A and B are shown apart, each in its own frame.
Chain A
Amino acid sequence: MRGRSSFTVVMVAALAAVLAFLVLPIVAIFADTGPGDLVDSLGSDVARDALWLSLKTSSMAIVVIVAVGTPAAYLLATREFRGKALVTTAIELPLVLPPAVAGIGLLAAFGPNGVFGSALEGAGIELVLQTAGVVVALTFVAAPFYIRQAQSAFAAVDPNLLDAARTLGASEARAFARVAIPAAGGGMLAGLALAWGRALGEFGATLMFAGSFQEITQTAPLAIFATFATDFPAALALSAVLVAVSAALLLAVKLLGRSSLLGGEVHG
């Protein structure tokens, strides 16, 4: 009994340490930024362009990730095939890659001197130094966050539900759309929030692959880095806005997830 209570103390202390460490830098951003600074920083062209570009490119990346990632995750969750472990590992690899490695890899693949560089050029597709390049970089780093979560959400769906749908005459595509997606919705939304957050925060791969230019490729994190040296208060204020946007996103998706999860249970 005594051993158990002292372990509780250890756990509580550890949680307190984790919380303090993770929250302190975020609190410090707001402690140093008055509401007036926030408004001022949003008044600058650089900040507004960067935030708008960040929202635009991350939304585009999320649309691509969800559209392509959802069926791919469903396949991984519901079928067995040779080499599946290898495929899953390959998809998860960008999760643990340093952003600089992602940037180098994207250049080596899609850069002007890259493997597919001349093919892209022949097709008239320009990525480097273009907004499209930002979307490619964000998609690359953020996709695994969504696919991983969606895969485990689909795997947790009761196979009997899908069988029942098919027995009742639903095609596989219909069972996927009408049964699997509603049942896995909560997990998919959680993955979407993580992927979106990662995309909003992307820095290294974007800088290396797409470059940094106002309105075209300079996303909010790049603008923060660019203003850090010359105008620290402005960089802080822009950081505060990014924290607020990311937190709002996480919160919204959590709330949405809770209601859709309940919905799923009612259906089940």
Chain B
Amino acid sequence: MLRRVRRHPRLVLLSLLLVVVVAGGCGGGELERVGSPDGEVIVSAASSLQPAFTAYADAAGIDAKQSFAGSDTLGAQIRQGVTPDVYAAANTSLPDALYEEEFVERPVVFATNTLVLAVPADADIDSIGDLTSDDIALAIGQEGVPVGDYAREVLGGLPPDQSDAILANVGSEEPDVAGIIGKLSQGAVDAGFVYVTDVVATDGALEAIDLPSDLEPDVAYAAAVVNGAENPAGADRFVQGLLEGEGADALEAAGFGPPPRG
């Protein structure tokens, strides 16, 4: 036995390293699982909330483990039994549906946003009408993800020939806003429908073109504490902070609007 160990010192070292890493990882998780407002909060949030929520957790000193993806993907995970503490979506219909199905507590609308047409800063595109031209490639959200549904709502408000021409220019249907921004900043597409906050977050690399006000969809964000959350107290604190305090400040700084009154 001993001789074998001596013959494979590197293998032994590697195994030991693996054991230490695995044990360390497990230990850390166990200690922090306490149901207190100051404990770890697991947040599943829409991709578009990433800059604001990251800034919020930093400013408020919240130990938040946040995962950002398309709101519909995160909602589907909750339906499959994943229980984060907080679910925050880029629309109200997804959290409302989960509330009806008793997966989450009553959702709270905490912010609004504006859908815009995003283009590279040096682009020739000035309005939604320019998207009908043959040589334009467009990225939009896939069906089901809020940013994709809003974009389809906008196109549905255009005359049919115009919206058909624009849809024919769609080169990629992305799972979330991060995908659309990625395609835009890599020059893979010429334009994409995202939120104004996503454009603000690119620090001038992209430019936002406002949509005609009669086409602008109402974009409202809702958050809810997830039923079966490990840290409901921390989840409550996180959601309350979105309405007033550090969360609301971070949202405003990122370009979000306040929730509609009433």
Answer whether A and B are interacting partners: yes
A interface, CB within 8 angstroms of B: 107, 111-113, 117, 128-129, 207-208, 211-214, 216-218, 225-226, 228-230, 232
Q: Evaluate contact between A228 and B187: CB separation under 8 angstroms.
A: no
Closest-CB distance, B254 to chain A (whole angstroms): 25
Q: Residue-by-residue, is B188-216 near A (CB-CB < 8 Å gives 1, otherwise 0)?
A: 11000000000000000000000000000
Per DSSP, chain A at the interface is: loop
For A111, A113, A218, A228, the residue with the greatest tally of chain B CB atoms inside 10 Å of its CB is: A228
B interface, CB within 8 angstroms of A: 70, 72-73, 75-76, 79-80, 137, 139, 142-145, 170-175, 179, 182-183, 186-189
Which single member of B144, B175, B182, B186 contacts A212 (CB below 8 Å)? Answer: B175
Please give, as numbers and ranges, the residues of chain A lying within 8 Å of B182 by CB-CB distance. Answer: 208
Q: Evaluate contact between A228 and B73: CB separation under 8 angstroms.
A: yes
Which single member of A111, A208, A212, A216 contacts B142 (CB below 8 Å)? Answer: A212
Please give, as numbers and ranges, the residues of chain B lying within 8 Å of A208 by CB-CB distance. Answer: 182
Q: A211-B139, A228-B76 are in contact. Are A111 and B172 (CB under 8 A)?
A: no
Which single member of B72, B144, B183, B187 contacts A211 (CB below 8 Å)? Answer: B183
Q: A226-B142, A229-B144 are in contact. Are A217 and B186 (CB under 8 A)?
A: no
Q: Evaluate contact between B189 and A129: CB separation under 8 angstroms.
A: yes
Whose C-beta in chain A lies nearest to the C-beta of B76? A229
Q: Evaluate contact between B73 and A111: CB separation under 8 angstroms.
A: no
Closest-CB distance, A95 to chain B (whole angstroms): 18
Which single member of B80, B145, B188 contacts A232 (CB below 8 Å)? Answer: B80
Q: How far is the CA of A243 from the CA of B261 in the complex (A)?
A: 51
For A107, A226, A232, the residue with the greatest tally of chain B CB atoms inside 10 Å of its CB is: A226
Q: How far is the CA of A38 from the CA of B172 in the complex (A)?
A: 27
Q: Evaluate contact between A230 and B189: CB separation under 8 angstroms.
A: no
